[in-house]
C-alpha cells in the first residue's frame, strides 16, 4: 500500500489528464465573460469577412490560373494578326505604286497614237475634189498636275479648199461620224478665186477623243516573211 503525503497543505491536487477539460471550461467561460452583444456580432462578422476574403483569393487564383492559357493564345493571335496587317499595308503600298506607274505608262503610250488616228480619220473623211492646206493643234492632249490628273481632248483646226459646196457639207458629216473625233465645228466658209477658178475656202475645228474598244484594231509590229 502506497501512502501519498501532501507537502503543500491548502492546495488541492490537480487531476491527471485535465488539460483538455480545462481548455473547454475556459472557452465556455469566455462566452459568459463577454456580455456586450455588439462585440460578439463584430467578432462573428470579422470571422465571416476573413473567410470570404480567403475564399475569394483562392477562387481568384484558380480562375487566373485557368485564364493564363487563354491569355497566351490571345497574345499569339494578336501578334499573328498584327503581322497580317503589316503585310496588307505593304501590299497596298506596292499596289498603289504599280497603279500610278501603269497610269503614267498608259498616258504616255496612249498619246503616242493620237496624231495617226487624227490623220487617218481626216483622210478617210475627205471627199473627192477637196483638199487641206493646213492642220494645226490648238490644245494639249493631257495636263498632268501633281495633285490631280485631268485629261483634256486635243483640239485641232484644219483649213482647206473644195470645188463643190456639197462636198464640204459631206466632209463635215463624215468627220462627225468618226468614232475618234468630236466637237466638229465649222468656223468659216467663203468663196475665193484660185488659179482663175472659184473654190470654197473653209476652216473647221475638231477635237480628238478615245474611241470605244470595238473600234480599236491592233496589228503586230513585224511579221515573218516566207
pLDDT tens, position by position, 63-82 = 777 777 887 888 888 888 88
What's the grid cell of residue 110? 496612249
Burial degree of 111 (CB within 10 A; 0-12, 13-18, 19+): middle
Beta bridge partners of 137: 156
Distance CA 135, CA 112 (A): 18
Distance CA 130, CA 204 (A): 13
Tell me the backbone φ, ψ of residue 101, rounded to 5 degrees.
Answer: -65, -40
pLDDT at 120 over 80: yes
- Does residue 175 contact residue 135 with C-beta atoms inside 8 Å? no
Share of the chain above pLDDT 90, in %: 21
- Residue 141: per-residue pLDDT: 45
pLDDT at 170 over 80: yes
- Residue 221: per-residue pLDDT: 54
* C-alpha dihedral (140, 145, 148, 154), degrees to nearest 10: 0
Burial degree of 189 (CB within 10 A; 0-12, 13-18, 19+): middle
Distances (CA, A) of 41 to 44, 54, 179, 206: 5, 20, 102, 105
Name, in order, each residue with C-beta under 8 angstroms of 212's C-beta and a sequence gap of 6 or more.
179
Domain 114-213's class?
alpha beta
Task: Look up the pTM and report it.
Answer: 0.47
- Mean pLDDT over 55-60 rounds to 79
Distance CA 173, CA 176 (A): 5
Amino acid at each position: 500500500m502506497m501512502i501519498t503525503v501532501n507537502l503543500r497543505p491548502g492546495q488541492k491536487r490537480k487531476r491527471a489528464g485535465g488539460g483538455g477539460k480545462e481548455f473547454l471550461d475556459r472557452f465556455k467561460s469566455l462566452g459568459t465573460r463577454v456580455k456586450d452583444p455588439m462585440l460578439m456580432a463584430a467578432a462573428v462578422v470579422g470571422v465571416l469577412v476573413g473567410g470570404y476574403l480567403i475564399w475569394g483569393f483562392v477562387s481568384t487564383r484558380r480562375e487566373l490560373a485557368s485564364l493564363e492559357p487563354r491569355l497566351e493564345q490571345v497574345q499569339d493571335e494578336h501578334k499573328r494578326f498584327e503581322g497580317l496587317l503589316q503585310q496588307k499595308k505593304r501590299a497596298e503600298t506596292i499596289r498603289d505604286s504599280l497603279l500610278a506607274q501603269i497610269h503614267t505608262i498608259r498616258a504616255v503610250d496612249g498619246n503616242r497614237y493620237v496624231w495617226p488616228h487624227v490623220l487617218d480619220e481626216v483622210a478617210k473623211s475627205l471627199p473627192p475634189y477637196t483638199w487641206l492646206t493646213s492642220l494645226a493643234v490648238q490644245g494639249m492632249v493631257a495636263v498632268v498636275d501633281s495633285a490631280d490628273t485631268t485629261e483634256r481632248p486635243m483640239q485641232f483646226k484644219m483649213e482647206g479648199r473644195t470645188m463643190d459646196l456639197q462636198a464640204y457639207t459631206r466632209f463635215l458629216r463624215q468627220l462627225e461620224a468618226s468614232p475618234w473625233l468630236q466637237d466638229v465645228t465649222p468656223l468659216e466658209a467663203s468663196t475665193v478665186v484660185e488659179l482663175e477658178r472659184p473654190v470654197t475656202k473653209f476652216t473647221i475645228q475638231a477635237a480628238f477623243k478615245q474611241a470605244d474598244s470595238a473600234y480599236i484594231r491592233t496589228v503586230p509590229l513585224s511579221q515573218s516573211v516566207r
